[in-house]
A and B are shown apart, each in its own frame.
Chain A
């Protein structure tokens, strides 16, 4: 079982739709949760960073963390064609080997005009 599971998609939605992207994880030691957006042939861009259960909102983006269920989500409201990209979840924890960050496989999102 992978430490982080993320549906690779692709996910195709019409412009203006609400998008829900999700990841599940198995290691309860994860404390920090991140969402990155990656356009084709570019480096990932940090969108959201949270470290506790609950919701965090930034503009059209809302990150949700449910540690009891080991489940995190990213919601995109009023999706735009420019949101078409791959979205990677990531989570981090300190362990005996140091600070480790594990990335999901990424979900490819297409927003159609």
Chain B
């Protein structure tokens, strides 16, 4: 149990375009999902906490208008990188908390902006 999926696993886009990443909890409902960003050989950086039915809570320094988060249902959260630039290239990982306090992570999405 506690499986989280992400789609796509890898995406290449041109500078100035927008990219949507989906995060799904497959066998549980998650009222809270988290979005992280990870640069090579670095740890996870929390971008925002996504709560079903309400606005996401963004960490300091994360641009709300650039990283749009929608938590439309108890099993789906989406992250849209708007007007992507090469510096947005990174590994984006979502996680969900099904019960208790532990988090389960998705496999990650590698974004490359050219």
* Chain A residues near B (Cβ < 8 Å): 31-32, 34, 36, 41-46, 49, 51, 88, 90, 92, 98-99, 101, 103-106, 108
Contact = CB atoms under 8 A, between A and B. Distances in A.
A44 B49 contact: no
Contacts, number: 52
B5 to A, nearest CB: 10
A99 B101 contact: yes
Interface string B84-114: 0000000101010100111111111010000
Contact of B43 (A32, A41, A51, A104): A104
Contact of A43 (B32, B49, B106): B106
Contacts of B57: 98
Minimum-distance CB pairs A-B, first 7: A43-B105, A105-B43, A43-B108, A32-B101, A49-B102, A43-B107, A44-B105
20 contacts: A34-B102, A34-B103, A41-B110, A42-B107, A42-B108, A43-B4, A43-B95, A43-B106, A44-B44, A44-B95, A44-B105, A45-B105, A46-B103, A46-B104, A98-B57, A99-B101, A101-B46, A105-B42, A105-B43, A108-B41
Interface of B: 2, 4, 6, 32, 34, 41-44, 46, 49, 57, 91, 93, 95, 97, 100-108, 110
Contacts of A105: 42-43
Contacts of B102: 32, 34, 46, 49
